[in-house]
Every structure is written in structure tokens, then in C-alpha cells.
Structure 1
Amino acid sequence: MVPSGGKGSAVVWPWQGQEVVIGTTRHGSGPKALLLPALSSISTRAEMNPLAALLAERFTVLTIDWPGFGTVPKPPVAWNPEALAAFLRFAIDEVAREPVLVVAAGHAAGYLMAEAATRPVRGRKLVLVAPTWRGPLPTMLKRRPSWLARLAGVADVPGLGAALYRLNVNPVMVRMMTRAHVYSDPAWLTQERQAGKRGVMRAKGARHAAVRFVAGELDPFLDRAGFLAAAAALQEPALAIYGADTPPKSRAEMEALTEVSGIAARRLPRGKLSLHEEFPHEVAAAILAWVAEVA
């Protein structure tokens, strides 16, 4: 069992006239590391806590929620990639304040790549855990039809938006999603862990970001070419970690990324899209070994 404690707090991010409360947790001491959770209907910084506790032996580790996600109430904002990119700059510059290591999971890895490609930092290292750039519906459809944007906008309609969101996070849908895409071992999502996920899904205002993520409206890139171009532009050491059980469509994108010159890769024997949560010891070991190699 991995200890997952830490000192919790919150920061306020000003965005377009709103004061958005963002949850954070701090672990350990030493050089600074920032851990960014994935974007999804069930994601929160708590999924990074076991990994953070292991890395805290070497680093002061800050985990932070994304705006629109997490367990705190959220304002009715039409979240978009520009907002999340601006928040990432705020998290790096104002909250973590010059971390020497940034670990990002899922879509967070895509945002980190885009940020680091345009604003490299000397001496910083980047870890991309199960990196993704395309939301669930565009991945399933293999295209990006215009009606996805209209579907995302429904999230903001009183009554109708809540009904649409409930369809996405009903227990049957969540079980299907987690078994198919998120966890290698279906038994890993115990009743206790399910209760924690329900708290994320039931947070006030959760639908505005979650529905947009599913529709692909929060994708950091529009196509694989942009994803790979950002990777090729990186000037900092970068490690991509993914699991052997990763769903085929997502794994194809990750394997394409690992072909980019300068991207180190570690494929773990198990793990799907939330391998950092399910297998924190293995992910931490891969990170620490790589950090020692490139020191």
C-alpha cells in the first residue's frame, strides 16, 4: 500500500473575471516537482497522490487539479484549450515556481508538450505518462465532425446539460469505460475507490469541462501531426511512459511519439490510461531511474 497523504490547500486562479478555486497537495522536500493529473470525468489530483508520495523521497512534489475538474465547485465556464494552456503557465510560474521535474498524465502531457515547445526551461525534465491528445469521441469516430462542438455546448444549457452529463457518468458507463480504457485490473476499482470517483463526478459544475473533454473540445492538438511536431520541438529531456495494456488506438499515438528523436520511452508490462494510479511503484521507478540517467 502506498501512503498517499500530503498537505492539501487551494489557490485562486483569476480567469476572465472569475476567481477559480483550484485544489493542490504538497508532499516531501527537495527540488520541486509538479504532477499534473489526466483530464477526464473521474480525474482529480488525488489520482497522483500515491506516485507523489513515492517521488517525495527525492522531491518537493506538488499535485494540482485542472480548472473545471477536481472536487471543488466550479464556475459555469465554457472551458477551452486556451484556458487550460493559460492555467498551465500559471501553475508552472506562480504555483510550483520553477519545478525541475514536471510529470503529466493523459491530455495533461499534451498540454505540457505544447507549453514546453514554446517556453523551454534549462535544466527541467519532462515525463509524459500515457500521453494523449485526442478525446474519447473523436478517437472512437476517427474524425472530428462539427456536431461535437454543438454537443459540448449542450453542457451549459440548464437542465439539458445536467441530463447529458448524467448519461456520461452513470455507473454502467463508468464501469465500461474504466474496464476498457483506464485500469488493467477491473478489481482495482474497489467500492472505496468508486466512492472517491463519484465525489469527483458529483462536484458542482463538473459537467462544463467533462462533457467538453469527451467531445474533444479540450484536445491540445487537432491532429497527430501537431502532437508529433510539439514533441520534435522539445529542447528539454523528455520521457514517455505507457503500459502494454493501453487500448490500441491510444497506444498507436504513444508509439508514434516514442519514434520522435529525443523522446525516451519506457513501456511497462501492465497498465492502461491510468497506469500512474494503478501502478505507482513501477511508474516512480521508471521516472527515478531515467532522472538518474539524464542528470
Structure 2
Amino acid sequence: MKKSPWLLGLLTLGALTLALGACAPVPQTSTEGGFPLRPALDGERRTLQLPDFGRVVYYADPRGQGRPLVLTHSVNAAASAYEVRPLWNVYAGTRPVYALEWPGFGSSGRPDVRYTPALMAQALSALVEQLNTPVDVVALSLGSEFAARVALEDPRVRSLSLISPSGFGSPRGASQQAGQQDSETLYRRLRNVGDVLYGALRTRPSLQYFLSRSFRGPVPGDVVDYAADTSRQPGAKYAPLAFISGGLFHPDAYEALYRPLNTPALVLYDQDAFVSFDRLPLFAQKANATVQRIAGTDGLPHFEKLADVKAALDAFWLKIP
């Protein structure tokens, strides 16, 4: 099984981060309004309840006109809706905007349960059901796979915009069943060292390093600050362990999730240290697909070239009735 770049990078940083006190106790953020984490966005925090999981949080700003926009962040050791903050800020007030925080991340619940692609897709499906109207979805990185799962089943997802999505690389070369077994084995092993492993991931040097792989220029200090805050919440390790094990990735997302899509889809990309785009040219041949390079960017182009990303999104949405 292809190992997560987060895990490979962690191995190179392990000695440094542990030497800097990765496992030292970290004070928890005080609770305000029932949430243990300061808001990621300037919007109302609302909740959904998922069976056998609990609270899933989304941000809401229902002002504006037109089809609602749903934003979803990526998945990593310190993910949250802060990753979509530039998009939120540019669209809030002009059209209804909602931002989902995946189970196990941000202000959503972080119980000790098995985190799976099905659980993540269930959260987005619940939000689409709650809105109960056609929506445009923008997803980042691995969140693109979860969004595609929902779009395959729910016609209310009117369009998909995927920013630096995972799942377009070469297939892993193993069966889906074998890939799942490998992920389960690695997950069980990671559980035994979860505190040490996640302690190393959440140090500021480690967060700075991994975030630097998604920025062409300097990493904004506020992005690192929020990553540090969200990674220090109770239960923060559980979903990232599933991510690092590979259990949140589909073994062949292109064939299973992207190629069958009938939903109009836009892919924005350039370079990404964590994913590849080997099969993106195949996807570009689909009649309902648009592929656009945002040159000079890495995994989070909307932070460094927001105007270019917004122009591409707006032009794409104009073609959708």
C-alpha cells in the first residue's frame, strides 16, 4: 500500500519534533458557546447529529442570492474550515454559503470511533439534506473523494469544484480488498503509538513544515496558529490516525468516484506535494468536466491566488443552469 505522505514526512521529522517536546501536555482551549474551539469562520456555527457518531458542525451565512455554496476542507493532522476561509470571505454575503467540518475535525465531534469514507460522505449528505435544495460544492484535496461519493447519489449536488483533489494519481496496483486490509493493519499499529505519533504531528515545527508543502510562498501565521489550536482539542488524534493509515482514501478513486460522475465538475490544480494528477488528462476528456491550472501554486491556491481561483469558479458556475 502506498504510504501517506504525512506519515513519510513524519518519519523524517520525528527526532526533531519529539526532541522539542511533542508529547508534553498541551493546555486545552476554553469552551465558548458549547464549542471547545474558537470559530474558524465569521458565520453561525450550526450542528447536525449523525447516528452512531454525534455532532457535526457547519458554518452558515444564508445572506445573498442564488444557489447555496457548500465548502469542505481537506483532511490532514490539523484540518478545519479555516482552510476555506479565503473562499468563505469572498462569497459570504453575495450568495448563501455553508462550510462543513468533517467528522473528527474542527468543531465537529471527535469521538473514538472508526473514521471511514462512508462516515465523511454521510456528514456531507446530511448537510445537503438539511439545505434540501440544489447546491454547488467546493472540496479540497481528500475531501474531493467524499464529495464525489455524495454527488454520485444525490442530484441536489448541482456541481462539484475540486481544488487539488486526491484520487487522480496512478492506481495503487492492489485490489480494493487488499488495500483495505493493509490500512486496517496499519491503523491497528498506529493506535498503539497514537499519543506519541500525534504528539509529533501537532508540534508547531511539524505543522509549519507540512503546511509549507501546500504554499508556494510563506505560510501565513494565522493558518499555523489555527492548525495548532485545532490539533490540541480533545480527541484530535482519532481521525488523523485513520487518515495516516490510508483508510480514508479509496484505492482507485478515479475509476470508482470520478470517472462515473455525471455532475458538472471543475478541477483546479497546479502542483501538490501530497497527491499527483496522472489521470487528470483522462478526466478532462469528459463532456461535463473542466480542468484548469492555477499556475504558481501548490495545494491551497485560493490562499495565494484567490482572484484566479474565484474567476475560474465564477466562469464554471455561469455555465450551469
Q: Could you say what secondary structure the match of 1:250 adopts? A: coil
The structure-2 alpha-carbon separation of the partners of 1:40 and 1:253, relative to structure 1 and needing over 3 Å to count, comes to farther
Q: Which runs of 5+ in 1 are unaligned?
A: none
Q: Is contact 1:109-1:128 (8 Å) kept?
A: yes
| Partner in structure 2 of residue 273 of structure 1 | 299
Q: Structure 1-normalised TM-score?
A: 0.81
The structure-2 alpha-carbon separation of the partners of 1:153 and 1:28, relative to structure 1 and needing over 3 Å to count, comes to farther
Q: Is contact 1:20-1:75 (8 Å) kept?
A: no
Equivalences for residues 1-295 of structure 1 within 5 A: 6-16=42-52, 18-26=53-61, 28-31=63-66, 32-56=68-92, 58-71=94-107, 74-94=110-130, 96-121=131-156, 124-133=158-167, 144=179, 146-154=181-189, 156=191, 160-180=193-213, 182-185=214-217, 187-190=218-221, 192-219=222-249, 221-223=250-252, 226-243=253-270, 245-247=271-273, 249-295=275-321
Q: How many equivalent residue pairs?
A: 275
Q: Deviations over 1:249-286 (max 9, x none)?
A: 52335455334442111111122122234433321121
Q: Structure 2-normalised TM-score?
A: 0.75
Q: Deviations over 1:160-195 (max 9, x none)?
A: 422121123333333332223x1111x1332x3311
CA–CA distance in 2 between the matches of 1:132 and 1:229? Answer: 13
Q: Could you say what secondary structure the match of 1:101 adopts? A: strand
- Greater radius of gyration (CA): 2
Report the Cα offset of residue 218 of structure 1.
0.9
The structure-2 alpha-carbon separation of the partners of 1:25 and 1:189, relative to structure 1 and needing over 3 Å to count, comes to same
CA–CA distance in 2 between the matches of 1:169 and 1:257? Answer: 36
Greater CA deviation, 65-74 or 198-207? 65-74
Corresponding letter in the other structure for 1:230: L
Greater CA deviation, 57-66 or 277-286? 277-286
Report the Cα offset of residue 88 of structure 1.
1.8
Q: Is contact 1:242-1:268 (8 Å) kept?
A: yes
The structure-2 alpha-carbon separation of the partners of 1:105 and 1:148, relative to structure 1 and needing over 3 Å to count, comes to same
The structure-2 alpha-carbon separation of the partners of 1:5 and 1:67, relative to structure 1 and needing over 3 Å to count, comes to closer
CA–CA distance in 2 between the matches of 1:134 and 1:15? Answer: 31
Q: Is contact 2:41-2:82 (8 Å) kept?
A: no
Could you say what the CA RMSD is over the residues aligned between the two structures, in angstroms?
A: 2.9
Q: Which runs of 5+ in 2 are unaligned?
A: 1-39, 173-177
